[in-house]
Structures are given as C-alpha cells and as structure tokens.
Amino acid sequence: MRVIIILFALLAFVINFSYGNNVGSWGKSKGYKSSSIITRLKTIHGDIYNCVNIYKQPGMNHPTMATERIKFAGLLIGNAPSERFTGAKATMTIWNPTLRGENQYSSASLYVEDGDNQIRVGWIVHPALYGDSRTRLFSRWTSDNYGKTGCYINHCPGFVMTSNVVSLDYAFPNMSVLRGEQFDVTLQVVKRSTGDWEFNYNGQQLGTWTSSIFSKMGESASQLRFGGECYQPEIQDVSPQMGSGGRFRKGKYDRTAYMRQLSYTDTIYGDAVLDDSMVQVQTSRCYYATNEGYNFNDDWYGYNFMYGGKGGKDGAECFDDSL
C-alpha cells in the first residue's frame, strides 16, 4: 500500500508523504522517525496520511540530488523593467502525456531562476517518483543545479508546508481531453515581505522556501521560464510525449497544451503582464512552442502560448503542425 504524508496546518502538524511499502521502511530510508507520527488518516482511495509535527517533516532533511538531462519547449523570460524578478504566475491546462521508457518523466512547469539557483512548480507524470502514471502536482528547488542541494517536493530541507489545501503530490482528478473539455490549474511562485519564496495553488498558499537556502535568489531572480519539460535517459532511444501528447497544432486550443494569464512580479514595479519584448521562444527536437498570434488581450487568455509534441524515436521524423 502506498504511504503518503501531508500537512495538518491548523494543529501545527505536518503530514508528509512517501512511496515505500510501509511507514517503517520509509522512515529508515528518508531519516524520518515513525515514533514522530501523531495520528494516521486513511482516504477512500486507500492512501494513508501520517500526521507529524510540522518541524519534523522530511523537508527538513538534506539529501543530494543528481542532475538530469532534459528537453524543454516554452518561453524564456528576461529583460524585467528593474532587471530582477520576484515572482511568476501562470494558468496551465492539465494533461496526462504518455511515457515510453523506465525513469522517464513529462511535465509542465513555471521556473524562477538565477544561474544554478531554481524553483520549479507545475504538474508532472513521473512513475519513478510517485509509483504511478497519474498527473500530479509537484515542486522542485536547488541552489547549485542539483549538485548537492535541492529535491522534488519536500524530500529534503528547504520547502516547508504551511497549509492543507492539497498535498504536494496531489493527483489531479480531471484531465483535459483532445477536442473536448479543458481543465487547468493556476500556480504562482512569489517573493513575500518575509523574504521567503511562496508557492500558491489556485490563489492559496501551500508553503514556502526560505531565502537562506539559495546562493543567488535570496532577494530576487534573473529570469523566468514557462513550458514543458521531459526527461529521457541516455540509454533510451524513444522520448516521451509532452503536453497534450498529440502533434503540436497551432491555434488548436482543444488539441494542444497551453498556458494562459502569464504574469511576473518585478522588484520595483510589482505585478505585470508579459509582453513580446521580454520573451524568447525555445524548442527541442520533437517538442515545440509558439506565442505568435495567440495573445488576445482578453480576461480569459491574457498573455498565453502553446507547447508540446509527440516525442518519438531518435532520428525519426518529427511533426510540428497539422490541421
């Protein structure tokens, strides 16, 4: 049975999560003491939630994390009016792309970055991390490009949960459908007056990263990114799907993954909507992105872009657009 730990903020307890076969084995592998469990809850899905003291959650420990080779398609954002960013926000459609090999993942994220410092939040399909192929909420951080610092969700010190709105591994119940209904989520990373970086889910705070864990992002960041990210191990020759998983189709909002209402926070001028002068479109082999012609300047889409691709076998032909 999968064991999970989430936050119980009102009682100053945290429930963090694991994917071991039992609490004891997970506690030993992650440095978490089973004796710290206050109480246990069981959901209708069979997940077990272990309530522990908020200051004893696994996010207070500090294992290392290896750097991974990735492919990205989306927008790189620079040229902030003050030259520094203190936040990013986007509403992104939720999909369940297909993976094609062990240890692959596919995700949609927003990034706050400065050199080898990074905070990344979004949704992800990552069986090696979660034990299933469901689309889940996630976060990740580092201060040295994952050399000796950083991790997913709160598997190491740095991120502290402050709310029980949803768990950090929340499995989204509704997926967008090709030529059908689209489901989305609004995520934000923003610097607060306390100095910490805050993670917001649909307008509600989930937790914070303390500024002291970052070597370059203690006060602000130099760039932002929005887009899809995939990982394919070197030994594999077939890459996973990104976004909707189908061919990248310009202008087809019911067939291609997109992010809308993109905005940023500037150190001097506060919250603002993106404009083309700040944006560079980035693509990778078999993965595409475009913001051309899609910024309708209305209350629903705001500044937006499309991204994704089918992936496929190395060396094979890729398809970027089809009516």
Decide if 65 is inside a domain: no
pLDDT of residue 64: 31
Decide if 321 is inside a domain: no
Pair 166, 233 in one domain:
yes
Pair 147, 260 in one domain:
yes
- Distance CA(242)–CA(248), nearest Å, equals 9
> Burial of 255 by CB count in 10 Å (0-12 exposed, 13-18 middle, 19+ buried)?
buried
Decide if 157 is inside a domain: yes
pLDDT of residue 306: 92
Final residue of a structural domain among 40, 60, 80: 60
Decide if 320 is inside a domain: no
pLDDT tens per residue across span 227-264 = 999 999 988 989 999 999 877 777 678 889 999 999 99
Residues paired with residue 308 on neighbouring β-strands, in sequence order? 288
Per the CB < 8 A criterion, the answer to whether 125 and 99 are in contact is yes
Final residue of a structural domain among 11, 37, 60: 60
Residue carrying structure tokens 């990210």: 229
Pair 167, 23 in one domain:
no
pLDDT tens per residue across span 10-26 = 333 444 443 333 332 22
- Distance CA(145)–CA(141), nearest Å, equals 9
For residue 181, the domain's CATH number is: 2.60.120
CB contact set of 315 (below 8 Å; sequence gap of 6+): 237
Decide if 195 is inside a domain: yes
pLDDT of residue 320: 57
Residue carrying structure tokens 């872009």: 305
Per the CB < 8 A criterion, the answer to whether 226 and 111 are in contact is yes
pLDDT of residue 43: 59
- Of 311, 289, 275, nearest in space to 227 by CA: 289
Question: Which positions of the chain have pLDDT values less than 50?
Answer: 1-33, 35-36, 53-68, 322-323
Final residue of a structural domain among 41, 60, 79: 60
Question: Going by DSSP bridges, is the β-strand pair 117-125/105-114 parallel, antiparallel, or unpaired?
Answer: antiparallel
Decide if 66 is inside a domain: no
Pair 40, 89 in one domain:
no
Give phi and psi for 281, each to the nearest 5: -85, 130
Pair 23, 106 in one domain:
no
Pair 39, 105 in one domain:
no
The DSSP H or E segment spanning 312 is strand 312-313
Pair 135, 193 in one domain:
yes
pLDDT of residue 10: 37
Pair 220, 293 in one domain:
yes
Give the torsion through C-alpha atoms of 251, 253, 254, 259, to 10 deg: 150
- Distance CA(109)–CA(56), nearest Å, equals 28
For residue 242, give the DSSP letter: B
Pair 23, 142 in one domain:
no
What are the angstrom distances between the C-alpha of 125 and each of 163, 167, 228, 237? 24, 16, 12, 19
Pair 101, 248 in one domain:
yes
Dmax over Cα atoms in the chain, in whole Å?
59
Q: Which amino acid is present at 150?
A: G
Pair 8, 121 in one domain:
no
Give phi and psi for 28, each to the nearest 5: -65, -40
pLDDT of residue 300: 86
The DSSP H or E segment spanning 127 is helix 127-130
- Distance CA(236)–CA(33), nearest Å, equals 38
- Tally the domains of the chain: 2
Pair of tokens at residue 30: 């992650």
Residue 45: domain span? 3-60
Pair of tokens at residue 229: 């990210």
Pair 223, 90 in one domain:
yes
b/e string for 84-108 if b means 16 or more Cβ within 10 A? bbbbbbbbbbbbbbebbeeebbbbb
pLDDT of residue 317: 73
pLDDT of residue 258: 94
